[in-house]
Amino acid sequence: ERHILRFQTLLCDMLLRDAPLGIFTQSPSVLDLVKCDGAALYYRNQFLQLGTTPSEAQIKDIIGWMAENHDGSTGLSTDSLMEAGYPGAAGLPDAICGMAAIRISSKDFIFWFRSHTAKEIKWGGAKDEPTDRDTDGQKMHPRASFKA
């Protein structure tokens, strides 16, 4: 969250110097600021995109969802739009999963999109050490305890 706020401050400074369109059309661009697969700008009913992003209609739908569910916020970041409760997440391209968005005015936004990132889950317990007994009184092993 602090990372997003720091970039929001940097972008606000950029926006004060140049029109917001410049951060999409000039170098460095918004893709150079954040590690992402794509970025989009919705500014004064203009739509610009770089890299892999949802369609303009899908981004307008995301803006509507944010207005209904995150209206008091100046931004939103999530690893998964599906887990964040966005109802249109299943209809997004497979390459779109996470999103960071900042509001630059009441109707204008900058979005960054990222593909799914795999997470490694480390299980506790020794590999071969029994820790409990199942309903039959058999010793359960940590790695076998999830078998159906």
The answer, yes or no, to whether residue 100 has pLDDT greater than 70, is: yes
CA–CA gap between residue 144 and residue 52 (Å, rounded): 41
Domains and CATH numbers, the chain: 2-114 (3.30.450.270)
Taking 80 as the threshold, does the pLDDT of residue 135 lie above it? no
- pTM score, two decimals? 0.69
What average pLDDT does range 90-115 have in this prediction?
93
Tens digit of each residue's pLDDT (9 = 90 or more) over 25-81? 877 678 877 789 999 999 998 999 999 999 999 999 999 999 999 888 888 999 999
